[in-house]
Amino acid sequence: MLPRINPTHTKAWKKLENYYSAHSLSNNNKATVRIVESGLTYDFSKSLVSAEAFSMLTELADECELSRAIDDFFGGKAINETEKRAVLHTALRQFSSNDYLSDDIYQKVTHERSRIKNFVNEILSGERLASNGKPFRHVVNIGIGGSDLGLRMAYKALKPYKNSDLQLHFINSIDAQQIEQLLQEISLEETLFVVVSKSFSTKETLSNANVFKDLCIEQLGKENWKKHFAGVTVYPSAAAEFGIQPDYTFLFWDWVCGRFSMWSSVGLALALGLGYDIFEQMLRGAEKADQHFKNQPFEENIPVRLALQGIAYTNFLKAQTEAILPYSELLGLLPTYLQQVAMESNGKRIDRNGEVVDYATAPIVWGDLGNNAQHSFFQLLHQGSWLVPADFILVKKYQHSFHEHQLQLAANCYAQTEALFKGKNENEVRQQLQSKQLSEQEIEELLPHKIFSGNKPSTLIEIDELTPENLGILCSFYEHKYFVQGIIWNIYSFDQWGVELGKELALNWEEQLKK
Ligand SMILES: O=P(O)(O)OC[C@H]1O[C@](O)(CO)[C@@H](O)[C@@H]1O
């Protein structure tokens, strides 16, 4: 059983409250910490967490029994207590049998992974063909939420590594506009549809899958359509009922939560679109991050530090949101992907004792491409009334040939973190205004509008090169950040009951709208 400790009842919580109310942010003795893991450098020097505050935060983690929770998580205990399940997405990216909890899990995972590998290689080599005897040219992933977001994010991020002739498309919404558009881009006889649904009962996914099934039956024939459909699910019998053949059906298990599932067979379409080796390299990166999370002391532990500093911002500095700002076109979908991981996990107000919490839990995660956002919402980051801690993510080795552009992109990223943190005080603004042809009155009127208070925290994440391995590390560190926060907030991070009511009511609405 996970610890059930109300964090506000710990000694460290009180100390942190006192600390943050007594220290004005500008006097907050800042810590300069950089932690490197493989090709990623996390620079925490622009945080509002001093060495002293961090030590209190680690006391908080100790009082909340974080180490025991980490052991229980990796140890396969049923830490998803409301659903009575273990949480073992980390097992999906372990490659050494020694690390496995049980032979059973090891065999299941490696068996399914090798089935994916063979299937992908057969399709890409032309050994497994479409019903007309020709190679496939398109793959369509039909899924929603955790059965879509990670794949879309990773496909965009890793396209420069693409080692596959297949074009990957996504159908992820009940808005049939997507279907209309896709039908302009593909021909059914060249397309493999991958229906991905953990439950194999999600309405949107099944409605979409049925549209394409019907079209394929109509155009390709009653038996032929089956050569165009693969399924990924925890419930193979449901996939069989839909008509998907056993050798086109790939499994994962109820101990893989949807939003943590891209490492499982759910990644099939990604492996088809990029090539199996690219997919496996991403898994191996995540494995490295898991080892780091498991073994590094809290001070040197990237996800723990990300989590604890986030707790300082949310609970003691009252930040209500946090921004993810990639300075890389390739990482454009990262904020959307992380929204599900963070908010479906920790957007909860009932604690592990069944009580309503009296402290904040998950902040709202949002964000967009950093350079573009500078020209839209950064105004609020610099001068708005909210504290918005932000992650700036810069990829150093670029995948294009425009050196000057990369230089400008990096300059913008560094400049923004500096501007947010250092700000610009009254004297500096006055001096600058005085150098212009302005009257004293004009200067005084303009002055307050041009001041930047500074002390806006950010974490700079520099990625040497956006390799599949480094993407795996980046995502896994975020997953573990949110795990740590869930433990400290005393909530269950691996269920998502909050999505159910809307689904129930939508069924009623559907009936009413049909009348
Ligand atoms: O993979 P499934 O079972 O179709 O579910 C898709 C998504 O829907 C949710 O259950 C939310 O409705 C997510 O947790 C999940 O990732």
3-state SS of 115-184 is HHHHHHHHHHHCCCCCCCCCCCCEEEEECCHHHCHHHHHHHHHHHHHCCCCCEEEEECCCCCHHHHHHHH
CA of 146 to the centre of ligand 1 (A): 6
Which two three-digit tokens encode residue 450? 């041009």
Ligand 1 site, residue 499, Cβ cutoff 6 A = yes
Cα distances (Å, whole numbers) of residue 430 to 337, 384, 434, 439, 442: 43, 21, 6, 12, 11
Ligand 1 site, residue 199, Cβ cutoff 6 A = yes
CA of 205 to the centre of ligand 1 (A): 10
Report how far residue 357's alpha carbon sits from residue 476's, in angstroms, rounded to the nearest whole number.
27
**Are the beta carbons of 249 and 202 closer than 8 angstroms?**
no
Residues noted as catalytic: 344, 375, 503
Q: What is the predicted pLDDT for the residue at 399? A: 86
| Ligand 1 nearest atom to the CA of residue 499, by list position | 12
pLDDT one-digit tens code per residue, 133-157: 999 999 999 999 999 999 999 999 9
Query: For atom 8 of ligand 1, which residue has the closest CA?
Result: 145
Structural Rg of the chain based on CA atoms: 25
Q: What is the predicted pLDDT for the residue at 221? A: 97
Ligand 1 site, residue 341, Cβ cutoff 6 A = no
Nearest to 123 by CA among 252, 210, 220, 227: 227
Phi-psi region of 326 (alpha: psi -120 to 50; beta: other; left: phi over 0): beta
pLDDT one-digit tens code per residue, 460-471: 999 999 999 999
**Are the beta carbons of 287 and 477 closer than 8 angstroms?**
no
User: How high does pLDDT run on average in the chain?
Assistant: 96
Q: What is the predicted pLDDT for the residue at 26? A: 54
Q: What is the predicted pLDDT for the residue at 27? A: 47
List the Cα angle 347/352/358 in 5-degree steps. 65
CA of 50 to the centre of ligand 1 (A): 39
Strand order in the sheet with 191-196: 167-171, 138-142, 191-196, 229-233, 249-251
Q: What is the predicted pLDDT for the residue at 255? A: 98
User: Exposure of 500 by Cβ count < 10 A (0-12 exposed, 13-18 middle, 19+ buried)?
Assistant: exposed
Ligand 1 site, residue 145, Cβ cutoff 6 A = yes
Catalogue all structural domains in the chain, each as residue range(s) with its CATH number: 7-64+296-422+457-499 (3.40.50.10490), 89-281 (3.40.50.10490), 424-453 (no CATH)
Q: What is the predicted pLDDT for the residue at 23? A: 74
**Are the beta carbons of 33 and 454 closer than 8 angstroms?**
no
Q: What is the predicted pLDDT for the residue at 28? A: 54
Sign, CA torsion 92/98/102/103: positive
Query: For atom 13 of ligand 1, which residue has the closest CA?
Result: 145
The helix (H) or strand (E) run that includes residue 294 is helix 276-295
Length of the chain: 515
**Are the beta carbons of 37 and 303 closer than 8 angstroms?**
no
Q: What is the predicted pLDDT for the residue at 98? A: 75
pLDDT one-digit tens code per residue, 273-282: 999 999 999 9
Ligand 1 site, residue 467, Cβ cutoff 6 A = no
Q: What is the predicted pLDDT for the residue at 25? A: 62
Pick out the chain residues at pLDDT < 70.
Answer: 24-32
Nearest to 272 by CA among 175, 420, 155, 354: 155
